Amino acid sequence: MNALNSIVRWQFNSFPKWNPREANKRLIATPPDSELIINSPLLNDMQFSNRDSKHLPRPPQALWFCRLAELCYFLANMTKRIGVLLSGRGSNFEALADSVAAGRIPDAEIAVVVSNRENARGIERARARGISAQVIPSKGLEREAYDRLVVAALQEKKVDLVCLAGYMRLVSPFFVSSFRERILNIHPSLLPAFPGLESQRQALEHGAKFTGCTVHFVDENLDAGPIVMQAVVPVEDADTPETLAERILREEHRIYSEAVRIVLEGRYRIENRRVQVAPLKKSESQ
């Protein structure tokens, strides 16, 4: 976001100030039949026909419009940077990395993977893919003191979106406010049912017939932020926590990528906790 801000500032500062005398110098005679020729791909210069100039858009408006269009195009296509936090196996991280590589999450990259645990398998998996991976041990640190280190690592990598993927820590209000509405979590139940640990076991012990998984925004409360996407998984009589977890995990991998794409593309709005998602245009769905 810092990068984004500086680009926006640079773009706006670079708009030429309208000065009629200077503007006259910019009016270049062109062949009589040409009306408005934009002669540079970067839209830095324009040529106006003298003959019909009163019918043409005035230079300042035209220039503003072109610059604005250029800015929108640039911002829309800028690569978004994802930071992943994990503590263990890292299969959701792998699913996200696969989706980025396959273009299912377009114009994005995983900028960094951070773990609070040294031996997290997800860290090995990230390094094997050549993705920057850092272990920041949490032992002996207060929650916020630890989160300040993690936030600094994410900000240094200019992360736009933080994805918790099996991150076995509660994040502090400091963390949440540093990335407000830019932190997602994946949870293996249909929230608000069965929050916290061992959700698959909770679902079985409760006798639920259906469970599933949820991608939600992270707020100050445990597994409680607005829900972006859910998938339902039926519970079978013969299920154990492990077999159920395996089937849920397949859905997790699918919906996490979809939800990340929605959020990175800004294709949603939140109204009274409800996340309303705009569908993809036909040409964008794949």
| Catalytic machinery residues | 187
Give the residue, chosen from 63, 84, 85, 86, that forms a contact with ligand GRF under the rule CB under 6 A.
86
- Looking at the Cβ atoms of 197 and 238, the one nearer to ligand GRF is 197
Minimum distance between the CB of residue 39 and ligand GRF, rounded to whole angstroms?
52
**Cβ at position 170, least distance to ligand GRF in Å:** 12
Distance CA 161, CA 157 (A): 11
Using the rule CB under 6 A, give the single segment among 84-92, 137-145, 218-226, 271-279 that binds ligand GRF: 84-92
Choices 3-11, 62-70, 148-156, 185-193 (CB under 6 A): range interacting with ligand GRF = 185-193
Stretch that binds ligand GRF, among 89-97, 172-180, 233-241, 265-273 (CB under 6 A): 89-97
Buried b (16+ CB within 10 A) or exposed e, 142-178: eeeebbbbbbebbeebebbbbbbbbbebebbeebbeb
Of the pair 86, 154, the CB lying nearest ligand GRF is at 86
Stretch that binds ligand GRF, among 20-28, 30-38, 49-57, 88-96 (CB under 6 A): 88-96
Distance, C-alpha 134 to centroid of its chain:
20
Query: Nearest approach, Cβ of 11 to ligand GRF (angstroms)?
Result: 38
Q: Which of 67, 80, 92, 154 binds ligand GRF (CB under 6 A)?
A: 92
**What are residue 217's DSSP bridge partners?**
184
What are the CA-CA distances from residue 44 to residues 4, 52, 55, 96, 265 (Å)? 21, 22, 22, 39, 28
Strand 210-217 to strand 274-277: parallel, antiparallel, or no bridges (unpaired)? unpaired
Number of neighbouring beta carbons within 10 Å of residue 79: 13
Burial of 85 by CB count in 10 Å (0-12 exposed, 13-18 middle, 19+ buried)?
Answer: buried
Total number of residues shown for the chain = 286
Candidate list 89, 148, 254, 267; residue touching ligand GRF; CB under 6 A? 89
Owner of token pair 């990230």: 126
Q: For residues 189-248, which are near ligand GRF according to CB under 6 A?
A: none
Residue 229: CB minimum distance to ligand GRF, A: 13
88 binds ligand GRF per the rule CB under 6 A: yes
Binding residues with ligand GRF: total (CB under 6 A): 14
Which residue in the shown chain puts its C-beta closest to ligand GRF?
Answer: 166
Q: Based on CB atoms, which residue is closest to ligand GRF, 147 or 252?
A: 252
Question: Per CB under 6 A, does 49 bind ligand GRF?
Answer: no
The site map against ligand GRF for 152-171 (x = CB under 6 A) is: -------------xx-----
Which residue bears the tokens 């859910």?
Answer: 230
Q: Is residue 252 part of the contact set for ligand GRF (CB under 6 A)?
A: yes
188 binding ligand GRF? (CB under 6 A)? yes
Our finding on whether 85 is near ligand GRF (CB under 6 A) is no
Q: In the numeric block, which tokens belong to residue 261?
A: 């794409």
Strands annotated E in the chain: 36-38, 46-48, 80-86, 108-115, 133-135, 161-164, 183-187, 210-217, 227-234, 268-271, 274-277
Which residues, in sequence order, are bridge partners of residue 97? Answer: none
Q: At a CB cut-off of 8 Å and minimum separation 6, what does 148 contact? A: 174
Residues near ligand GRF, by CB under 6 A: 86, 88-92, 122, 165-166, 186-188, 249, 252
